[in-house]
Structure 1
Amino acid sequence: MLNRIANKFSKFVERYLPDAFVIAVLMTLFVLLIGFFMNPMEPKTLFTSFGNGFWAYLAFTMQMVLLLMTGMALASVPVIQRLLTALASKAKTANQAYVLTFLVASAAYYINWGLAVVVGAIIAREVGKRNKKAHFPLLVASAYTPTVLYTAGFSSSIGLTVATEGHFLEGVMGVIPTSQTIFHPGTFIILLTLLITVPLFIVLMAPKKDIISYNPPILKNARTPENETNSSSPALRLENTPILGMIIGAIGIIYIVIEFVGGRDLDLNIINLIFLSLGLFLHRSLGQYAKAFKEAAGAISPIILQFPFYAGIIAVLGSSGIAESIINGMASIANEQTFSVFSYWTAGLVNILAPSGGGQWVLQGPLQVPAGMQLGVDPAVTAMAVGWGDAWTNLIQPFWALPILSVVGLHIRHIMGYCILLSIWVGIVTTILLFFVY
């Protein structure tokens, strides 16, 4: 039955879901309209907050862009690509293909969601090449669905933010070590439960007919490395030697080791430097790394285009009182036992309008943390509840699916039907567990 529901729902979504940029613009207009009705005498304030907010998160945007690009460049290292190709050959049936794709992408999302974008795309593509009985849109959905797990991993925006000295809420909640957030036992329980149940749900959704198998795009302007590396000019020899990349990568790695020995915790900046240094060290040359970085930039261009719009939305949500009304409304009916669940639901709702874990924390944290502390809720629990809620509705907010779709050549409407159904399951499981694990 789930198979038939998924098939019909997917076809319905394919027909009616617009492009992600269109959704971003519609969201902007929707929030401005709601803000106007809530504050009919202050339209100037709404437009001013939108315009100011449009550029308010440029530093954070750069951190996020680098997180994606360094992760994607690392995933394109030949040894990693060969490993993924070898893994793809292990899936002999369609069901094995879905489960393998999900688990490999989950491991990558746990390490770094920028890395996971390309790892997920490559594993879905390679599995699709070898298994024509697998429905390729569902394979890609399987590669994207582990986005719900990233908040438990090494690139958790909120978990790393609150662990960073000088973060904007330090005066309220202090610096929260990752042992109380992403490495908390409750986080591992939710993570393992989703790792077990979500692939089973995917298998139950798999179509039995009308299979769309992988159809590789025609490669244009293919590079010919032998022509690029055989030149004897000094300039090209510098570009193609592996020595420079290994030296500068090793310098970064040494700095990272020194920082960790000195007691530094994980944060966005150190994660970015880890993946930048490893990418430089493992690529065959600086020229190859620059090309990988350039290709990554093309894949994330929709994010660069759309993030300022969502930053503007975040500002309007704050200035108009919309976010405060949502958060205070849920907090008013919560108690110490249910606050984490209401924080999770609130974060899921806000994330649909403002799909950025860090940006959402800037909006939601100053309201959510004090409300929780008044009820006796540990700020670390509030942070993780908001993080899980942010990750949950990534499945139905198309923004973060754009890079992987760019790599595999699909449109958001091809996978969104499956993602929406999966979001329902993830929401039920996580809601129940939040009552008990923190």
Structure 2
Amino acid sequence: MSHTPRPSGGPTGEPVAEGTLSRLGIRFTAWAEKWFPDAFVFVAIAVVIVALGALANGATPAAIAKSFGDGFWSLIPFTMQMAFVTIGGYVVATAPPVQALIDRLAAIPKSGRGAVGLVAAATMLSSFLSWGLSLIFGGLLARALARRTDLKMDYRAAGAAAYLGLGATWAMGLSSSAAQLQANAASLPKNLLAITGVIPFSETIFLWQSMLIAVVLFVISIVIAYVSAPGPASAVTAESMGVDVSREKPDTTRPRQPSEWLEHSPILTLLLAILAVGWLVQEFARQSWITAISSLNTYNFLFLTLGLLLHWRPKNFLKSVGKAVPATAAVLIQFPFYAAISAMLTGPKNAAGTSVSDVITHAFVSLNTTGSFPISMGVYSAVLGFFVPSGGGKWLLEAPYVMQAANELQVHLGWAVMVYNAAEALPNLINPFWMLPLLGILGLKARDIVGFSFLQLIIHLPVVLFLLWALAFTLTYHPPVMP
């Protein structure tokens, strides 16, 4: 079901002029409603392209098929970690104290455009903590604002703003999959660890250059979201789109049988929380907090513990987890295909013993200098990210050859990770894969919001590439540090 805006005008029925960015956003949205496919289509195309590339490189069809099947299940632990990032973010964002915060924020804006700007700011700020939290928090805030009929807020623009955490800033924050992987020797494949060594957060997301890019993207994104949002006369509200944004009624049922008492009692919550906090204290005591939080297992454990405490009663916690699980469906079905793509890139070799990955590595080194590397890697990562929209999964595909090239060209390895991070987020703005959990909350289709997010992409792309190139000159290469 697509949602097509109805023509609207001013008090006299005459069309109301919109700004240039607003008109572009509306036109892009109209195009997307007609032509934009489902997320699974993109990963299927990527599989076909890589298979054809391996075939063109001289690998046999049998070898390609074998690598596809052998690699299919190779990222299951990482797949579950990514699923739990979504679940943890959902559980925290739907807890009553966070819901109360959302209600207070929703009372602030005085106009529809101001509401869209607020959603953009809130989702990007939360993305520095967790991309999973940003998706759910942004979606719930957009719904809360849509309940305010006095704002005349364009629901599509608000939905696009709620996605900016994934499209602009998440990879510059604590949940950056590539930075987390590189900071933990145990998480890296041995062949990649030999190339990059361990790269701590202090050399990636906590570089002042990285934080500068994050601030620039934060400001630019809010401005674009505000300016491009249709005014009250042209706004397409949730009501006009047939989307029910009414608040879900809280569960007020009380235990009627002894078997239900513990489900409603906070006693088990407190006991589990004591154990969890005890483990977390030990983890943070034995190492720096940067190292501790950079572990995906610790990171997810922290969010689940926080969600358990915020929901207070086991029944409420489990109800929230149950609602979060459907949002992980795309992760669970598509990540095995990314693993298969990785295997086809590195596995099948031609008669000369060369894989597709080897060919790409050679091209990177032969076509680049230290100065041009950030731009070429940024463009390549952005294009590849359109077909493989997973920060961590794609890093495992891309890192072996781009980081080897960075070593040979003597590019700061931590900055190479951040080049990847900043560029990798760009295609998220138009790839529907990570939109799915958000769209489930909003009750929209990807085509409803991608027109406005595409407008963000057009402006972000040159800004990001320029900053990645210019700031690279402020850093010096250091050889890999082995654990």
* Pairwise TM-score range, normalised by the shorter structure: over 0.9
The residue number in structure 2 matching 1:268 is 296
The residue number in structure 1 matching 2:263 is 239
Question: Which stretches in structure 2 are left out of the alignment for 5+ residues?
Answer: 1-19, 349-354, 473-483
Listed one character per residue, the Cα deviations across residues 215-245 of structure 1 (whole Å, up to 9, x for unaligned) are 374599x776222x242x2221111111211
Kindly indicate whether the alpha-carbon contact (under 8 Å) linking 1:249 and 1:276 is maintained by their aligned counterparts in 2: no
Q: Is 1:255 paired with 2:279?
A: yes
The whole-number CA distance in structure 1 between the counterparts of 2:236 and 2:269 is 41
Listed one character per residue, the Cα deviations across residues 241-289 of structure 1 (whole Å, up to 9, x for unaligned) are 1121122123212321221121141221110111011111221211111
Which TM-score applies when normalising by structure 1?
0.93
Counterpart amino acid of residue 72 in structure 1: Y
The residue number in structure 2 matching 1:10 is 29
Summarize the Cα distance change of 1:332–1:134 in structure 2 as closer, same or farther, 3 Å threshold. farther
The residue number in structure 2 matching 1:98 is 116
The residue number in structure 1 matching 2:41 is 22
Superposed counterparts of 1:114-193, under 5 Å:
114-130=132-148, 132-147=151-166, 148-166=168-186, 167-168=188-189, 169-193=192-216
Which TM-score applies when normalising by structure 2?
0.85
The residue number in structure 1 matching 2:13 is none
The whole-number CA distance in structure 1 between the counterparts of 2:457 and 2:71 is 29
Q: Is 1:305 paired with 2:333?
A: yes
Listed one character per residue, the Cα deviations across residues 292-312 of structure 1 (whole Å, up to 9, x for unaligned) are 111000122232222223332
The offset of 1:7, in angstroms, is 1.6
The residue number in structure 1 matching 2:86 is 68
Q: Which has the larger radius of gyration?
A: 2
The residue number in structure 2 matching 1:392 is 426
The whole-number CA distance in structure 2 between the counterparts of 1:149 and 1:422 is 12
The whole-number CA distance in structure 2 between the counterparts of 1:36 and 1:152 is 36
Counterpart amino acid of residue 179 in structure 2: G
Which structure's residues are more often helix, by fraction? 1
Summarize the Cα distance change of 1:423–1:318 in structure 2 as closer, same or farther, 3 Å threshold. farther
**Correspondence for 1:381 among 415, 431, 440:** 415
Kindly indicate whether the alpha-carbon contact (under 8 Å) linking 1:396 and 1:416 is maintained by their aligned counterparts in 2: yes
The residue number in structure 2 matching 1:359 is 393
Kindly indicate whether the alpha-carbon contact (under 8 Å) linking 1:331 and 1:342 is maintained by their aligned counterparts in 2: no
Kindly indicate whether the alpha-carbon contact (under 8 Å) linking 1:77 and 1:283 is maintained by their aligned counterparts in 2: yes
**Correspondence for 2:314 among 283, 286, 289:** 286
Summarize the Cα distance change of 1:54–1:210 in structure 2 as closer, same or farther, 3 Å threshold. farther
Kindly indicate whether the alpha-carbon contact (under 8 Å) linking 2:238 and 2:244 is maintained by their aligned counterparts in 1: no
Listed one character per residue, the Cα deviations across residues 53-92 of structure 1 (whole Å, up to 9, x for unaligned) are 2211111101101111111111111000110111011111
Question: Which stretches in structure 1 are left out of the alignment for 5+ residues?
Answer: none
The whole-number CA distance in structure 1 between the counterparts of 2:409 and 2:391 is 24
Kindly indicate whether the alpha-carbon contact (under 8 Å) linking 1:335 and 1:375 is maintained by their aligned counterparts in 2: yes
Counterpart amino acid of residue 122 in structure 1: L
The offset of 1:396, in angstroms, is 2.1
The whole-number CA distance in structure 1 between the counterparts of 2:423 and 2:118 is 25
| Count of residues in correspondence between the two structures | 434
Counterpart amino acid of residue 119 in structure 1: F
The whole-number CA distance in structure 2 between the counterparts of 1:46 and 1:436 is 40
Q: RMSD over aligned Cα, in angstroms?
A: 2.1
The offset of 1:211, in angstroms, is 2.2
Kindly indicate whether the alpha-carbon contact (under 8 Å) linking 2:120 and 2:222 is maintained by their aligned counterparts in 1: yes
Counterpart amino acid of residue 98 in structure 1: V
The offset of 1:340, in angstroms, is 2.1
Summarize the Cα distance change of 1:324–1:196 in structure 2 as closer, same or farther, 3 Å threshold. farther
Counterpart amino acid of residue 170 in structure 2: Y
